Amino acid sequence: MTLHPQAQAVLDFRKAHGGPASTAPLQQLRAADLDAPLIYGESATDVDVEFSYIAGPTADLPLLTIRPKIHKSGSGALVYFHGGGWVFNQHTKYQPMLTQIASETGFTVIAVNYQKAPEHQFPIPFDDCYATLEWTLAHATELGIDPTKVGVGGDSAGGNLAAAVALKAADQGIALAYQMLIYPCVDTDYTNQSYRDHDQGFGLEAAGMKACWNAYIPADQFDNKYAVPMHATSLKGGAPAVIALAEHDCLRDEGAKYGERLADDGVHVILKEYPGMIHGFFGHGSMVDEAYELRRWLSARIVELTRVAQ
């Protein structure tokens, strides 16, 4: 399918508003990212939002906790890891998307601002995310959630972190209700057809993705399954997976292949590809109608999986 007109409008909008060259200093790139025009859409109004900190393995970690104003004790939870190539972004930018998911699911949503590469390379961001899951499970009673209904999720680099956290949880005997992976970067195979088809001009470019991988992972850790989940020898025992992909995304093929590997290893997989969409459309709510459809679809699927987990 050709690029959806609304997705093209996002690309045109970004081009028109520009930003510093990719060769600019990292802090300048981060500042431009934080000051970019907000296209995520409006936040839900029937939820409460709380900002706090927890003690992580190497630093205090900022948390964003979202729960419906009418909260049912014993409901589910989503521990969310944001995208941004492990280098950019922060959890608070995701408030519009995550408040909608909390509103539609009735879940408590907990998002962590993990430490960023290249200053903090793997395993530090991964350890921050896993520690957030452990904290959530340890405080289930206080949070009013059922620990058997807790899952992890993330988009892009956050999808990588969610998949990796789900792998470690399985290794540690922790039964997650689900792993929600939104166009995750789970492999470093740049020969995939989706990389060749979407090398440039679709928002996320191959060169940028490679640079982020190299910023995040030390050279001697690329075989570590918690860094690159596709490098796991087995995915058996993993949490049921909900995977959402965009047609015009260089990460499309690796997300599909990861879903196939999960299914081959006996993991229940629900996968949907969105025709005409580009990387990042989960956050394009003010410009792309499918952004809201995706959020509703994800909400419905993780509610179904927490019912199965009961």
Residues noted as catalytic: 156, 249, 279
> Shortest CA distance to 146 belongs to which of 158, 156, 155, 136?
136
SS3 state of residue 174: coil
Q: Enter the tokens of residue 121.
A: 């390379």
CA gap 202, 198 in Å, rounded: 6
Dist CA 81 CA 99 (whole Å): 14
CB 178 within 8 A of CB 204: no
Q: How far apart are the two ends of the chain, measured CA to CA in Å?
A: 39
Give the per-residue SS3 of 6-71.
HHHHHHHHHHHHCCCCCCCCHHHHHHHHHCCCCCCCCCCCCEEEEEEEEECCCCEEEEEEEEECCC
| Sign, Cα dihedral of 296, 300, 302, 303 | positive
Q: Quote the CA–CA distance of 79 and 136 in Å, as a whole number.
A: 8
